[in-house]
A and B are shown apart, each in its own frame.
Chain A
Amino acid sequence: MVRCDDRPPYLILYRVIELKRLTKRYGDTLAVDDLSFNVEPGHVTGFLGPNGAGKSTTMRLILGLDSPTSGEALVNGRRYTSLSRPMREVGALLDASAVHGGRSAYNHLLCLARTNDISATRVSEVLQQVGLAGVARKRVGGFSLGMKQRLGIAAALLGDPGTLMFDEPVNGLDPDGVRWIRDLMRSLAKQGRTVLLSSHLMSEMALTAERIIIVGRGKLITEATVAELTERYPSLEDAYLALTASSVEYGAAR
């Protein structure tokens, strides 16, 4: 089912996100509507859609934070909630401000690391990698949004996972940070990891992603490579606007 580059199939199977007819209903609204797609390793997969299209909900469903109304989301062939050390298989950044402001960056990461038997050395390593080593002992409450994004990315990288998901990671980052994220995403994918990235910055997405999944009103609109889309439309942005024109509807999901 997964055809991709030259690595042995068992390795590839272990780095894949599969959505099978995933559906999530909140009261009367269908946030995710019968969504099926696979995210494969080796390249960055861009996850696009208007506000309220169900991107964040889909990510929450993959992580078992919300439970699906029907269908299922599998990571490496298993439900996320059945993983005993999930951080070693999947790293995720959903909401960078979802941290206790009173805790230091180092302690925040160490709290997470301990749950998955990840060493304190690794905590220092990822802090270095995201450029927060200098403020590791500072309270997270005083961090700018950009710094919190970096902290969230550090948390996602902690377990050195084969699969990574990032929801709008460039929000609040300076041009330097945006470039850094782009390079990081691409290098993670190049190492053979599965990377799912959502963003509203089309120009950035065109530079970072190789494959694109577009959703609208919880449904799959298009699954294609960036090359295919830019062949049919003047740019990725034009492709996105044309394809989602009929599904811009606010407030469909949380």
Chain B
Amino acid sequence: MRAIMSSEWLKLRSVTSTYQAIGVAALTVVLGMVWTFYVSGLADERGSLRAAAPEQGFLPLVQISLAVLGVLAITAEQASGMIRTTLTAVPKRGTLLLAKAGVVAAVTFVAANSIIILTYVTSRLMAGDRHLQFNESSVANDLPMLLASGLSVTVLALVGLGLGVATRSTAAALVSVVSLLFVLPGIANYLPAPWNTRVAALMLPNLVPQIADQRLSRRLGDGFLPPWAALLVLATYAIVALAAGFYLFRRRDA
């Protein structure tokens, strides 16, 4: 297992797509600075305003770029046929998938948290003591939200990996990830009450504030799920996608 993980780690490190995915995700830091610069200017004119925290506002960029990393970890092999070479070296498919999942999880967790924390720190430093609302709560208060955000990125990357294994197609896996992140939550909002809130509470992006025990949104109000349940639902997304991938991966001819 250790040997296979070290191989998978090298696989990620030795292709440019990994650096491109992390690079795009890291644009969040720059966008966060631009945003803070903009709202700071407004605050200097008006005195105070309610601005969204950049690490929350730009979180979808981190989520989608690193989900791409998870998808490509398997679909790049399937598209090139490299998967057959890999399976000749590692015929135990469950072990291979587990090693891939472990490496994708570790890389995306470290990358996402670094990006989120860097965005957090630079924006707060730039904001100084202006009244922008997002910079007025304590680090201890913000920490659950930051950790939940980082965790959601890792879960999305694992969902991408699982769906990539299952669909064997980069496009199909990416469309599924985008649906989970943007399309389904949008649809859930338009369900008749009380189902809009009930379903929306289970949507992947809405789990982040619920894990941090914060309001879902102005319209949806407080979440339905206590933090532990939201965390469980988040993990379930990754587990279900990986289990589906594993089931098909083990049965299918390579």
- Name A's B-contacting residues (CB within 8 A): 60, 63-67, 80-81, 83, 86-87, 92, 94-95, 97-104, 107-108, 110-112, 114-117, 155
A107 to B11, CA, bound (A): 8
Docked-complex contact B16 and A102, CB < 8 angstroms = yes
| Minimum-distance CB pairs A-B, first 5 | A98-B81, A66-B253, A114-B7, A107-B14, A81-B91
Which residues 1-40 of B sit at the A interface, judged by CB distance below 8 A? 3-4, 6-7, 10-11, 14-17
Docked-complex contact B91 and A86, CB < 8 angstroms = yes
Q: How far is the CB of B137 from chain A (nearest CB, A)?
A: 43
> Which of B60-68, B82-90, B125-133 touches A?
B82-90
Query: Which residue of B is nearest A104, CB measured?
Result: B14
Answer whether residue B141 sits at the interface, using C-beta atoms and an 8 A cutoff. Answer: no
A94 to B87, CA, bound (A): 12
Docked-complex contact A115 and B90, CB < 8 angstroms = yes
The prevalent SS among residues of B at the interface is: helix
A246 to B254, CA, bound (A): 31
Docked-complex contact A92 and B88, CB < 8 angstroms = yes
**Cβ 8 A contact of A114, one of B10, B81, B85, B87:** B10
**Cβ 8 A contact of B84, one of A83, A98, A103:** A98
Docked-complex contact A63 and B7, CB < 8 angstroms = no
Query: Which residue of A is nearest B13, CB measured?
Result: A107
Docked-complex contact A103 and B89, CB < 8 angstroms = no
User: Could you pull out 16 A-B pairs where Cβ atoms are within 8 angstroms?
Assistant: A63-B87, A65-B87, A67-B253, A80-B91, A81-B92, A95-B84, A98-B83, A99-B82, A102-B16, A110-B10, A112-B7, A112-B89, A114-B6, A115-B3, A117-B3, A155-B85
Docked-complex contact B84 and A111, CB < 8 angstroms = no
Answer whether residue B138 sits at the interface, using C-beta atoms and an 8 A cutoff. Answer: no
A7 to B84, CA, bound (A): 34
Answer whether residue B222 sits at the interface, using C-beta atoms and an 8 A cutoff. Answer: no
A81 to B254, CA, bound (A): 13
Contact partners of A97 in chain B: CB under 8 A: 80-81
A108 to B7, CA, bound (A): 10
Contact A116 to B3, CB < 8 A, known contacts A67-B253, A86-B91: yes
Query: Which residue of B is nearest A116, CB measured?
Result: B89
Contact A98 to B87, CB < 8 A, known contacts A60-B253, A107-B10, A116-B3: no
Q: How far is the CB of B16 from chain A (nearest CB, A)?
A: 6
Docked-complex contact B17 and A102, CB < 8 angstroms = yes
Docked-complex contact A102 and B84, CB < 8 angstroms = no
Contact partners of B4 in chain A: CB under 8 A: 114-115
**Cβ 8 A contact of B91, one of A64, A98, A155:** A64
Q: Which of A86, A98, A99, A100 has the most CB of B within 10 A?
A: A100
Query: Which residue of B is nearest A106, CB measured?
Result: B14
Q: A65-B87, A100-B11, A111-B10 are in contact. List 14 more A-B contacts (CB 8 A).
A: A63-B88, A64-B87, A65-B84, A94-B84, A95-B81, A97-B80, A98-B83, A99-B81, A100-B77, A102-B15, A112-B86, A115-B4, A115-B86, A115-B90
Q: How far is the CB of A114 from chain B (nearest CB, A)?
A: 4
Query: Which residue of A is nearest B16, CB measured?
Result: A102
A83 to B87, CA, bound (A): 12
Docked-complex contact A83 and B10, CB < 8 angstroms = no
Contact partners of B7 in chain A: CB under 8 A: 111-112, 114-115
Query: Which residue of B is nearest A103, CB measured?
Result: B14
Answer whether residue B76 sits at the interface, using C-beta atoms and an 8 A cutoff. Answer: yes
Contact partners of A116 in chain B: CB under 8 A: 3, 89
Contact partners of A95 in chain B: CB under 8 A: 81, 84
Contact partners of A117 in chain B: CB under 8 A: 3
Contact partners of A63 in chain B: CB under 8 A: 87-88, 91
Q: How far is the CB of A180 from chain B (nearest CB, A)?
A: 22
Q: How far is the CB of B46 from chain A (nearest CB, A)?
A: 50
Query: Which residue of A is nearest B14, CB measured?
Result: A107
Contact partners of A92 in chain B: CB under 8 A: 88
Query: Which residue of B is nearest A117, CB measured?
Result: B3
